[in-house]
A = this chain, B = another copy of it.
């Protein structure tokens, strides 16, 4: 569940206006970029990313996702984005990986309708309250009003659970584990941002039912570990595993587990993906019961989970790894892992010499492909090598391979790493093994760099006065907390607009810096909190601390 919504009309209008301005700006920039000059003369003057990641992070992000051709703004309706092939490739890698994982748990695929009746939605009170402000309502079909309006699903608990009640008749039907890959609509009043907050997004949603709390709880953690795997193993993004506080848990659920990421550029926390135990709340409302196998005649409500991972993961990855040249892709999810570019073809060379050289390039390309490296070769005419370098750097290809007559003479291929810029040569005889090693090194280095940044900016604090300075220094903080929702509200208020009055928001406007909210109660608890003794760190709170809780400014 997202935080409370600013649903006032003025906020909506403002957000839409800002989005339009950002779009117009970005589109204009894109228009300039994607018109390479043909003929070789002026091809070097590519307009790449026009701002630095450090100086204007939000504009940098908008330019990267647009110019690297990950997304396109859907200008017809604000808050929606088009996922381009570069994005769909990454999403499909994640989908395949995660699908294989959940199949090992016996999860099956299903597809429920996208519409929801208000009757079903209203069954769980907290759930409907959580989602009602964002529901898109279909009220007309053709030119006729519907007798009963229907909502587009914001999530499918209320769509699916009436059927769980029908399908689950005996404890032998448990566990029931279904997952669907679809899109959901949450008509956010807040500012939207590509991948991170959109009015429609792609995700998977798993919905399972179990006989006992223990069995449900076991699965919640198995799924959370898969989510951590998507970030850590595929996207090279470190996450902190933990539990959401009551204030931040899923609307209508029992408890929520989460993987939380961190964006070094602005010091914000970001929710990565959540795996919820719904407890018996929904099964009571939707009447999902089985006969207790150990006590004939007694009916018990099943224990349910739901869990979801969305295209948000891609936005987190872009924000963490990208640089001033554009996107930086971890090799495991890159469609093109290595780009091979012929260089050093001078005007002095004869046509035959050029042809021979390009023949060698083709041979290298074939060797790389055969060796399992996802390679493309750039033999486009009318572009200088330098222009091509920029173009592929912008698009984040992890490894550039150059091959010119001088390389040919030495029987090597020159390379440049996208992440570090490091250059070197590889003997042709070892091309695929060395390239594969380099790719694996890049994958690991990207993770390690991000992990080091996260670790350095996750600060344990026991003195309230250090909190805001720590936030301003782009940290998230781990503090002793009573975990009570009202206390969290107070903490948010106390940390709002304190110092850096013109902090850079993700939307590119200047605004008072935001208050911090709780991100998670990390499973790995630091030492030093004495139950019944340590106080909640909030100076206006009288309660004792229950656990260390991670707070931060956040998306």
Q: Which of A48-80 contact B (CB under 8 A)?
A: 72, 74-77, 80
CB–CB A115/B83 < 8 A: no
B134 close to A141 (CB less than 8 A): yes
Take A142-B132, A163-B82 as given contacts and tell me if A200 and B113 are in contact as well, using a CB distance cutoff of 8 Å: yes
Interface string of A82-98 (1 = CB under 8 A from B): 11110111001000000
Q: Knowing A135-B142, A163-B72 are in contact, say whether A112-B82 is a contact too (CB < 8 A).
A: yes
Task: Please tell me if the beta carbons of A85 and B178 are within 8 angstroms of each other in the complex.
Answer: yes
Q: Which residues of B contact A82 (CB under 8 A)?
A: 110-113, 163
Chain B residue with the shortest CB-CB distance to A380: B172
* A448 beta carbon closer than 8 Å to chain B: no
A152 is an interface residue with CB less than 8 A from chain B: yes
A109 proximity list for chain B (CB < 8 A): 85, 88-89, 92
Is A140's CB within 8 Å of the partner chain B?
A: yes
B134 lies within 8 A of A142 (CB):
yes
A166 to B113, CA, bound (A): 33
- Contact between B88 and A111, CB atoms less than 8 A apart: yes
- The answer to the question of A463 belonging to the interface, with a C-beta cut-off of 8 Å to chain B, is no
- Tell me if B120 and A76 are in contact (CB < 8 A): yes
**In the complex, which range does the number of interface residues on chain A fall in?**
35 or more
Are B113's CB and A77's CB within 8 A?
yes
Within 8 A of B (CB), among A90-148: 92, 108-117, 119-120, 132-144
A169: Cβ under 8 A from any B Cβ: yes
| Contact B115–A200 (Cβ < 8 Å) | yes
Decide yes or no whether A34 CB sits under 8 A from chain B: yes
Q: Which residue of B lies closest to A185 (CB)?
A: B114
Q: Quick one: which of A287-304 are within 8 Å of B by CB? A: none
Chain B residue contacts of A88, Cβ below 8 A? 108-111
Given the known interface contacts A82-B113, A85-B108, the answer about A7 and B76 at a Cβ–Cβ threshold of 8 Å is no
Asked if A9 CB lies within 8 Å of chain B CBs, one says yes
Of B116, B137, B183, which is within 8 A of A139 by CB? B137
Rounded to whole angstroms, the CA-CA distance of A92 and B179 in the bound complex is: 14
Q: With A7-B142, A115-B80 known to touch, is A35 a contact of B135 (CB < 8 Å)? A: no
Q: Does A221 contact B (CB under 8 A)?
A: no
Per the bound structure, the CA–CA distance linking A479 and B169 in Å amounts to: 55
CA distance A181 to B109 in the complex (A): 15
Closest chain-B Cβ to A8's Cβ sits at a distance in Å of: 10
B72 touches A84 (CB 8 A): no
Given contacts A113-B77, A117-B76, are A187 and B150 in contact (CB under 8 A)? no
Residue of B whose beta carbon sits closest to that of A111: B83
A202 sits at the interface (CB 8 A): yes
Whether A187 lies near B76 (C-beta < 8 A) is: no
Residue of A80, A142, A162 contacting most chain B CB atoms (<10 Å):
A142
Q: Is the pair B141, A139 in contact by a Cβ cutoff of 8 Å?
A: no
The answer, among B12, B117, B136, B202, for a CB contact under 8 Å with A140, is B136
A490: min CB distance to chain B, Å: 28
The digit string for A237-250, where 1 denotes a CB below 8 A from any CB of B, is 00000000000000
Distance of A88 Cα from B182 Cα, bound (Å): 13
- Which A residues form the contact surface with B (CB < 8 A)? 7, 9, 12, 34-35, 72, 74-77, 80-85, 87-89, 92, 108-117, 119-120, 132-144, 149-150, 152, 159, 162-163, 166, 169, 178, 182-183, 185, 187, 189, 200, 202
Closest 8 CB pairs of A and B: A141-B187, A85-B108, A83-B111, A88-B109, A80-B113, A137-B140, A76-B117, A133-B142
Q: Given known contacts A83-B112, A114-B152, A134-B141, what 18 new A-B pairs fall within 8 Å (CB)?
A: A7-B142, A7-B144, A12-B144, A74-B112, A80-B115, A82-B112, A82-B113, A85-B109, A87-B111, A88-B108, A88-B111, A111-B202, A114-B183, A115-B200, A132-B142, A133-B142, A135-B142, A138-B139
